[in-house]
Amino acid sequence: MIEILKISLITYMFCAMGRDGLIFTPYQRLISKLPDWLNWPLGRCFKCFSGQVMFWWFLFTHRFDVIELLFFVSAGILISMVWDKLYRFLDENR
């Protein structure tokens, strides 16, 4: 479970740091030239990007089990959504 928290935070912050002229804005501009079906999972959408990273991380580091794969990816996306709510809440109240 700690692994899911770590990966989802990294993927969320990678996408969040592409907003508003932050460090990954050049990368966001680069992928925005791609078609939507490709740029969303490459970092335009934090949920899509998190799901992609979780999926490939699971395939490369765990024994394949469909139920565990679905849980890993779903939990990662859900926790990324929690990070987004927390980030937006803190951003509004600073």
Q: Confidence band (pLDDT; 50, 70, 90) for 93?
A: confident
Domain residue spans of the chain: 2-92
Output the pLDDT for position 25: 87
Read off the pLDDT of residues 27-76 as tens digits, 9 standing for 90 and up. 988 998 999 999 999 989 999 999 999 999 999 999 999 999 999 999 99
Q: Is the pLDDT of residue 84 over 90?
A: yes
Q: pTM (2 decimals)? A: 0.88
Tokens read off for 75? 């939990």
